[in-house]
Amino acid sequence: MELAYYSDYAVRLVNTEEPARNKDSLTTVEAVRDLFGANAQAARRATDADVTRFRSVRARLRAVFEAADGGDETLAVDLLNSLLLEFPVSPQISGHDIRDEDDKPDWHMHLADHPSNATAGFAAIAAMGLAFHLTSHGVDRLGLCEAAPCRNAYLDTSTNRSRRYCSDRCATRANVAAYRARKRLETERSEETGRSADTAQPSTPKTDR
């Protein structure tokens, strides 16, 4: 498993909450376990106590994205470093997949966590994955969706650093909103121009017959 894969753990956790919409899907231990995806063994460690702990880590990860999105690189790095110190991992070489061409293991880096609970394990790999993405691609590649009120986190992997939205759906919604706003402005300007023209026309003097 490549280290870049783990950065998605951070995004998945942060996006379980939509503060502007007052929505939070992280309310049960089942929701916690779902965040582990295919890692069923790690998910089985989750208990009801992890719900509160996961929410705490989520707030700290969102703070990293907020700092990055706001252009404060130093704060983003400091916040992420605090998570890395609190939730350490041990990088190991893994070869659980086989290369087809020579029937030999496909060696790659794997993050082995040794957690005291499910939250510690998830936080460790999420923080390390996010750190790997940040140092490989830049702090400005961590963003928050500009399609208000969404503000979901995303990782910009575009070639020209142009990503602004968390999904195609939000991009479409934002584009439609921008189009409608332009049309309203054009209509208002047209109406103002028409009123100005009417005011500027001289009145026709009356003549005696």
Confidence label for 22 from pLDDT (cuts 50, 70 and 90) = very high
Q: What is the pLDDT of residue 73?
A: 96
What is the pTM (predicted TM-score) of this model?
Answer: 0.79
What is the DSSP code (8-state) at residue 98? Answer: B
Q: What span, in angstroms and rounded, lies between the C-alpha atoms of 4 and 20?
A: 29
pLDDT in tens, 47-88: 999 999 999 999 999 999 999 999 999 999 999 999 999 998
Q: What span, in angstroms and rounded, lies between the C-alpha atoms of 49 and 163?
A: 36
Mean pLDDT of the chain: 86
Say if residues 119 and 47 touch (Cβ distance below 8 Å): no
**What are the b/e assignments for 87-100, b being 16+ CB within 10 Å?**
bebeeeeeeeeeee
Helix (H, G, I), strand (E, B) or coil at 202: coil
